[in-house]
Amino acid sequence: MKFSELGFEDQVLEALDAMGFETPTPIQQEAIPAVMDNKDMIAVAQTGTGKTAAFVLPILNAICKRGSSDKVSTIIIVPTRELAIQIDQQVEGLSYFTNATSIAIYGGGDGKSFDAEKKALTTGADIVICTPGRFMSHLNMGYFDTSGVKHFILDEGDRMLDMGFNEDITKIANKLPKDRQNLLFSATMPPKIRQLSATLLKDPITINIAISKPNKGITQAAYLVHNSQKIKLIGEILKENDHDFVLVFSSRKVTVKEIVQALNKAGLPAKGIHSDLNQQEREGVLLDFKNRKIKLLIATDVLSRGIDIKGINLVINYDIPGDAEDYIHRIGRTARGDNTGVALTFINADDCHNFSKIESLIGSEVNKLPLPEGFTEGPKYDTTYKKPFKGGGKKNFSKKKNWKPRKKQ
Ligand code: AMP
């Protein structure tokens, strides 16, 4: 199938041509006709499948047909600032030959950016891409006229629910016109996503493009290693191999900071990215990494989904992600497109059981490599061992007043 067969306006086809997109990806082939037909849709699809263009293209096409208006017609809600910026960049590219305007609205900016966002919302940018909290702040001020909203899109729905945004999403949806189109994208389909879909979507089309298997271009291996050996092991890996563009993941921001410090001390220049950095710092670090000014980046799971940086040839999991699916997201940062890459995971004694869950999810055992010469022996791969629970009695946290799920770091 070619994009020219999908019935797009000339301005949209011109942009596709300029961006070098020739054939629609599977999700685009399925989703574009349904979205153009103004249907509600739930799509289970991960980053890398072309899901952004799957909703941006038909919406831009609709804007071309209707003409740009002085009211916001499209609201795209996303979990993180990075994703908001990235989607806005795709919208900018794909809308280049149209009159459509867009803005990314996310927290962490200064008063000036708040004013610019207010202006865009009141004078009517066609497409608004926003994080839930910041958007709620604008909505609560009362100046945003929602009556022109025709398309409401939730991207990475499962992640937004994990981050505790369910209430914000419902509040936002309740303020929008009832006859709008709703599109829900999610990497996974847990019960809470089914529930959200049932309350939000009307007679939706369901599309499932989930890849719960890692890309074949990734060579995966793991080391059984004690925590005290991990920094030294990174040093050895970097010394022995020709990996020049490396992303290291850890689940916790304190660990990210510790790794950065330890690596710098060991003479390996590295930077960290995590939620304690302000917006400008995060963007700066990401840009330096994209431009290869930094070749060793240590990140929390903020980066494991959604971010499309080409050329990363090694991903190291310094620890095991809490959620087995996050493993696939993390290692998917290497071997983008047709490239190949290596993903190495450090497993300590406490993590063996969780790593075995990852192996079942991906449907294969990951090769366990011996530690390099000069290392004392690491732990055994004992998947029956579970770290003893140190907490007190079981508490019903969900009944606690003002309780919110912990935000992912
Ligand atoms: P996404 O899954 O939306 O994050 O898209 C992943 C990457 O694929 C982005 O860099 C897009 O620019 C690119 N992309 C999306 N659709 C196409 C297409 N039909 N042909 C080539 N590249 C595409």
pLDDT tens-place string over residues 258-288: 999 999 999 999 999 988 888 889 889 999 9
Distance 47 CA to ligand 1 centre (A): 9
- Stated length of the chain: 409
pLDDT tens-place string over residues 36-47: 999 999 999 877
Domain termination site, one of 208, 235, 250: 208
Which atom of ligand 1 is the closest one to the Cα of 51? 3
Structure tokens at 243: 């990996």
**Which residue's CA lies nearest to atom 10 of ligand 1?**
308
| Same-domain pairing of 318 and 351 | yes
| Same-domain pairing of 334 and 222 | yes
Averaged pLDDT score across all residues of the chain: 88
Q: Write down the pLDDT at residue 353.
A: 87
The verdict on residue 82 lying in a domain is: yes
| Same-domain pairing of 197 and 244 | no
Q: Is residue 280 helix, strand or coil?
A: helix
pLDDT tens-place string over residues 171-185: 999 999 999 999 999
The amino acid sitting at 140 is: N
Distance 185 CA to ligand 1 centre (A): 15
| Same-domain pairing of 145 and 223 | no
The verdict on residue 284 lying in a domain is: yes
Domains held by the chain: number: 2
| Same-domain pairing of 200 and 226 | no
| Same-domain pairing of 200 and 231 | no
Pocket residue to mutate for ligand 1, from 3, 308, 329, most atoms within 8 A of Cβ: 308
| Same-domain pairing of 203 and 261 | no
196's CB contacts (< 8 A; 6+ apart) are: 154, 157, 161, 166, 169, 184
**Which residue's CA lies nearest to atom 21 of ligand 1?**
21
Domain termination site, one of 148, 177, 208: 208
| Same-domain pairing of 229 and 172 | no
**CA 363 remoteness from chain centre:** 23
| Same-domain pairing of 198 and 90 | yes
- Cβ–Cβ < 8 Å for 35, 181: yes
The verdict on residue 396 lying in a domain is: no
The verdict on residue 407 lying in a domain is: no
Pocket residue to mutate for ligand 1, from 90, 215, 305, 310, most atoms within 8 A of Cβ: 90
- Of 4-13, 59-68, 178-187, 236-245, give the lowest mean pLDDT range: 236-245
Measured from CB, residues less than 6 Å from any atom of ligand 1 are 21, 24-25, 28, 47-53, 90, 308
Q: Write down the pLDDT at residue 180.
A: 97
Q: Write down the pLDDT at residue 403.
A: 36
Which domain does 32 fall in, by range? 3-208
- CATH number (domain holding residue 165): 3.40.50.300
| Same-domain pairing of 289 and 169 | no
| Same-domain pairing of 82 and 180 | yes
| Same-domain pairing of 203 and 328 | no
